[in-house]
Structure 1
Amino acid sequence: MNSQGRFHADEWQARVQLAACYRVFDMLGWTEMIYNHITVRLPASATDGRKQYLINPFGLHYSEVTASNLLKIDTAGKKLDDNPHPVNPAGFTVHSAIHEAIADAHCVMHTHTTAGLAVACTKTGLAQNNFYSAQLHGLVAYHDFEGITIHAEEAPRLLKNIGEKPVVILRNHGLLSWAPTLPLAFARLWTLQRACEVQVMQAALGPAIDIPEPVARKTTEDSFQFDARFGGGRDVFDAMTRLVDRRDPSYKQ
């Protein structure tokens, strides 16, 4: 148990890291009032092998999320504790489908950033014309918009479109990433977000210089930020967490 005696040590560690991530998103401006979600699958060591997840309390801004007020839910999105906050009914539909179907999907992140949504609304999608998009060659999936994601019957189509690709552009909707660790999911989403930001700004300047496919393929292969041998995004996420700590460490409560 952790020092408060309320949570298994491994669950508490997951809670602190996820709460930090919500604060990082807030610091970066990746918030949408009380909406959108970052979810993690709790380790089996903390759940006796049961499938359980953590998600943000519906109604709280990301800046209000703490380790102790995160909701613990099952695969159906049902609360498993006495947390007084509700679960967003649309919040876990997509996340649950990915967590359940993809073994390595320990963490799932979803945003509605302006740049991400703008690119998601284009017919051509992500352009292969900048340093960041070149690091995502062959890694981006697309899923067509079917309305607010509250219907479970959309899940098979979503999963078919995702396949094994770790970042997703939900057309007309936003961005998504998944990974076996939270830091890696963050590194992937940050790269996609930066690619979208550059693309949106560049579009106002005229025709872009496209990156040839062989160069983009090599750039992706050479990019070390996603490689487990180089931390798989952990160093980056830890650095961002330190920035949050200096601003407001209350997420650890």
Structure 2
Amino acid sequence: MHIASVRELVSAEEWALRVDLAAAYRLVAAYGWSDLVFTHISARVPGPEHHFLINPYGLLFDEITASSLVKVDARCNKVIDSPFPVNPAGFTIHSCIHAAREDVQCVLHTHTRAGVAVSAQKCGVLPISQQSTFVLASLATHEYEGVALRDDEKPRLVADLGTKTYFLLRNHGLLTVGKSVADAWLSMYTFENACRIQIDAQAGGELVHVDPAIMQGMGQVMKVATAGQGPGIAWPALLRKLDREDASYKT
């Protein structure tokens, strides 16, 4: 599929963001988190216009490139012409979070088997793994209201998320936010693994819960664990992995 490059139509800063966001889509596909074409990762474009980038509806995540990402405004109007539509449900969830959270550049949402399974459990995320301790330190929950098509759900989504990083959408899936694409992706990696571990552990014997005292100050623990680099400790290596396998996401 030929998609015309938009590199000359956007700033260098926006192009770098497009490359990172396209990489995130490819990595979601590579790690098996995609749901055909039905989930989304969005990123706020730098500047006062409150534009953001989201996936072209209809492309598989391993097809997405920097140029194919659709730039829309707060009303879902395309800012740069694109042959692809935008999923209205994806726009509902992502647009309200971007509007409410100035600290958030990227919103990543998945419908993985393990994530939906845990979202359907009354107990939610259990403190039974090291991964879960990071999630529980900044976890919010939103009750299911059907496919997210209605504007009246936006205030409840925003209120339930608050200032948290991890968002459990009941009977629906997982969502993370971050100050960069890399931040949101690494948080989802942790969230997804916490859910997979939980489902696997529940198939065995009695569960051992982590001592609540251990879960204090997990933000500082993360800084130490990543040598102060946060997602920067892993993101460059992930990009190198993509480059070795298929660098077309950069086009």
How far residue 5 of structure 1 moved from its aligned partner, in angstroms, is: 2.1
1:169 maps to 168
Q: Distance in 1 between matches of 2:224 and 2:38?
A: 28
Contact 2:44-2:52 within 8 A present in 1 as well: yes
Contact 1:73-1:79 within 8 A present in 2 as well: yes
How far residue 225 of structure 1 moved from its aligned partner, in angstroms, is: 7.1
Q: Deviations over 1:106-137 (max 9, x none)?
A: 10000001111110000010000111001223
Q: Distance in 2 between matches of 1:244 and 1:218?
A: 33
SS at match of 1:109: strand
Contact 1:188-1:226 within 8 A present in 2 as well: no
2:231 maps to 233
Q: Deviations over 1:46-80 (max 9, x none)?
A: xxx21100001000000110011110000121111
2:242 maps to 244
Aligned-residue Cα RMSD (Å) equals 1.7
2:107 maps to 108
Q: Distance in 2 between matches of 1:3 and 1:68?
A: 5
Q: Distance in 1 between matches of 2:199 and 2:90?
A: 27
2:40 maps to 37
Identity %: 37
Contact 2:6-2:67 within 8 A present in 1 as well: no
Task: In structure 2, give the amino acid aligned to 1:66.
Answer: T
Alignment of 1:87-106 (within 5 A): 87-106=86-105
Q: 1:76 to 1:136 in 2, by over 3 A?
A: same
Q: Distance in 1 between matches of 2:216 and 2:76?
A: 39
2:22 maps to 19
How far residue 220 of structure 1 moved from its aligned partner, in angstroms, is: 5.2
Contact 1:183-1:237 within 8 A present in 2 as well: yes
Q: Distance in 1 between matches of 2:105 and 2:138?
A: 18
Give the TM-score of the pair, scaled to structure 1: 0.93
Count of residues in Structure 1 that have an aligned counterpart in Structure 2: 247
Task: In structure 1, give the amino acid aligned to 2:228.
Answer: F
Give the stretch that moved more between structures: 52-61 or 154-163. 154-163
2:216 maps to 217
Q: Distance in 2 between matches of 1:57 and 1:107?
A: 16
Q: Distance in 2 between matches of 1:146 and 1:74?
A: 25
